[in-house]
């Protein structure tokens, strides 16, 4: 048995032991607060067992293993329906960016960062990502939340929107405008922010599916110390892009965060078309084959990206393809699953999980096609950075931000 297969066997044994208490069936009927409490307990046990921060350095609380071990564990964990959604963004983007850009040379500050990392890995603290704004859409460089110099720090005002799990977050990473007199990409600065600070107000947004994991966040004269700055002044767009490159690989999986393909196969055995099991219909079998091939290809892209990172390289723009294709295919497969059920597919469970319930998956899929970059933005990225096609005409290029008509 290879080392990786031995690792997979150990991960599966741990997950099988946890599933009766923390898995899909144990969570059925839980409120969000109950699920969060269960998730915190599971995350702590996961950390103690050595399965949190798998590919992070040991000196900051990780396990010091490789990206392939992380992929292996994540693939196994996905099958059990564990309560990890509250921590996926926190551990997927803000905390890795904090490790990369927030350590600094001050030993006391570095100790504070390590404490944050360990608490996040244990599920004791949650971080959110504050990027999108009402007027910015998918144009991150068009944001208007501003931070102005205030003594030896900054004073921040503005609004962010669609911030996942902000209502439960202790900290967040945020990019704001610090100089409106230069072109839009050059006047941004990247900070971390205390979500419990004076002047921070979080308002949950109820989505069509009934859940309210996304929020609008208001900042009214929020004080930021300069030690909270994670980029050069005016250099925040580069750090934001690094965050988005990570997001392309961590904010989705080959199932687009929808139900696993095995669940569709199970459904196709249970429902009938013209008096015969749907699994025997060539059209259904074709969709299963196409989805299997597509997901295998996306998993290969992710694996390649992680191996690049292991070699000290940056993952490329191929992550845009991962997100674009996976969420689109999830939406189509969910729609087919509902169609196969006929009128039974109309029964909607407001507490259904998007990972397990086809109705919830279909209703919430459009959110995934906007979050982390809309389909249109991803298509432009693929066209320009993967295929090498000419850029779109951009009339605001080279224009100071405060000269762009609002």
CA angle 316, 235, 248 (to 5 degrees): 25
Higher pLDDT, 175 or 346: 175
Cα 44 from Cα 230, distance rounded (Å):
28
Cα 171 from Cα 163, distance rounded (Å):
12
Locate 164 and state its tokens: 């996942």
Question: For 172-230, how does the pLDDT look when each residue is reduced to its tens digit (9 = 90+)?
Answer: 999 999 999 999 999 999 999 999 999 999 999 988 877 888 999 999 999 999 999 99
Question: For 361-393, how does the pLDDT look when each residue is reduced to its tens digit (9 = 90+)?
Answer: 998 888 888 877 788 888 888 898 889 999 888
The per-residue pLDDT for 373 is 76
In DSSP terms, which residues pair with 150 in a beta bridge? 153
**All domains of the chain, ordered by start, with CATH?**
3-125 (1.10.540.10), 128-241 (2.40.110.10), 252-386 (1.20.140.10)
273 — phi, psi (to 5°)?
-125, 120
Task: Tell me the average pLDDT of the chain.
Answer: 89
User: Tokens 């992380």 sit at which residue?
Assistant: 70
**Average pLDDT of the segment spanning 253-267:** 85
The per-residue pLDDT for 164 is 93
The per-residue pLDDT for 315 is 66
**Average pLDDT of the segment spanning 85-105:** 87
The per-residue pLDDT for 1 is 64
* DSSP 3-state of 7: helix
User: For 196-225, b where at least 16 C-beta lie within 10 A, e where not — what string?
Assistant: eeeebebeeeeeebebebbbbbbbeebbbe
Best-predicted range by mean pLDDT among 3-7, 98-102, 172-176?
172-176
If you write DSSP's letter for every residue of 356-406 in order, what string do you get? T-HHHHHHHHHHHTTTTS-HHHHHHHIIIIIS-PPPPP-TTTT-BGGGS--
Q: What is the reported pTM?
A: 0.86
Question: For 299-336, how does the pLDDT look when each residue is reduced to its tens digit (9 = 90+)?
Answer: 888 777 777 766 767 666 777 788 888 889 999 999 99
pLDDT band at residue 56 under the 50/70/90 scheme: very high
223 — phi, psi (to 5°)?
-80, 130
Report the relative pairing of strands 188-194 and 146-150 from DSSP bridges. Answer: unpaired
The per-residue pLDDT for 27 is 93
């Amino acid at each position: 048995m290879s080392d990786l297969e031995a690792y997979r066997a150990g991960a599966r044994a741990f997950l099988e032991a946890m599933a009766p208490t923390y898995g899909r069936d144990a969570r059925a009927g839980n409120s969000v607060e109950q699920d969060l409490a269960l998730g915190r307990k599971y995350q702590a046990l996961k950390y103690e067992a050595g399965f949190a921060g798998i590919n992070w350095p040991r000196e900051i609380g990780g396990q010091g293993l490789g990206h392939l071990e992380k992929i292996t564990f994540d693939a196994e964990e996905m099958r059990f329906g564990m309560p990890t959604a509250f921590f996926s963004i926190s551990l997927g983007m803000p905390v890795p960016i904090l490790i990369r850009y927030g350590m600094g040379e001050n030993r006391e500050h570095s100790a504070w960062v390590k404490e944050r990392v360990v608490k996040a890995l244990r599920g004791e603290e949650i971080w959110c990502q504050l990027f999108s704004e009402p007027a910015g859409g998918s144009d991150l460089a068009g944001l208007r939340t501003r931070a102005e110099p205030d003594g030896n720090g900054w004073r921040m005002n503005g609004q962010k929107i669609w911030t996942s799990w902000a209502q439960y977050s202790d900290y967040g990473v945020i990019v704001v405008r610090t100089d409106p007199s230069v072109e839009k990409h050059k006047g941004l600065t990247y900070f971390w922010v205390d979500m419990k600070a004076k002047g921070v107000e979080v308002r949950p947004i109820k989505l069509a599916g009934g859940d309210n994991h996304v929020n609008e966040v208001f900042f009214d004269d929020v004080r930021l110390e300069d030690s909270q700055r994670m980029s050069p002044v005016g250099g925040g767009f580069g750090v934001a892009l690094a965050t988005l490159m990570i997001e392309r690989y961590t904010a989705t999986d080959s199932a687009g965060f929808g139900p696993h393909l095995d669940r569709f196969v199970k459904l196709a055995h249970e429902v009938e078309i013209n008096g015969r099991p749907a699994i025997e219909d060539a059209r259904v079998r074709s969709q299963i084959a196409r989805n299997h091939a597509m997901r295998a290809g996306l998993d290969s892209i992710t694996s390649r990206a992680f191996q690049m990172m292991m070699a000290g390289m940056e993952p490329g723009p191929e992550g845009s393809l991962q997100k674009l294709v996976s969420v689109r295919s999830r939406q189509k497969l969910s729609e087919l699953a509902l169609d196969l059920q006929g009128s039974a597919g109309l029964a909607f469970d407001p507490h259904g999980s998007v990972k397990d319930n086809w109705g919830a998956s279909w209703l919430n899929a459009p959110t995934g096609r906007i979050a982390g970059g809309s389909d249109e933005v991803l298509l432009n990225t693929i066209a320009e950075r993967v295929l090498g096609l000419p850029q779109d005409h951009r009339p605001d290029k080279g224009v100071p931000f405060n000269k762009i008509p609002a």
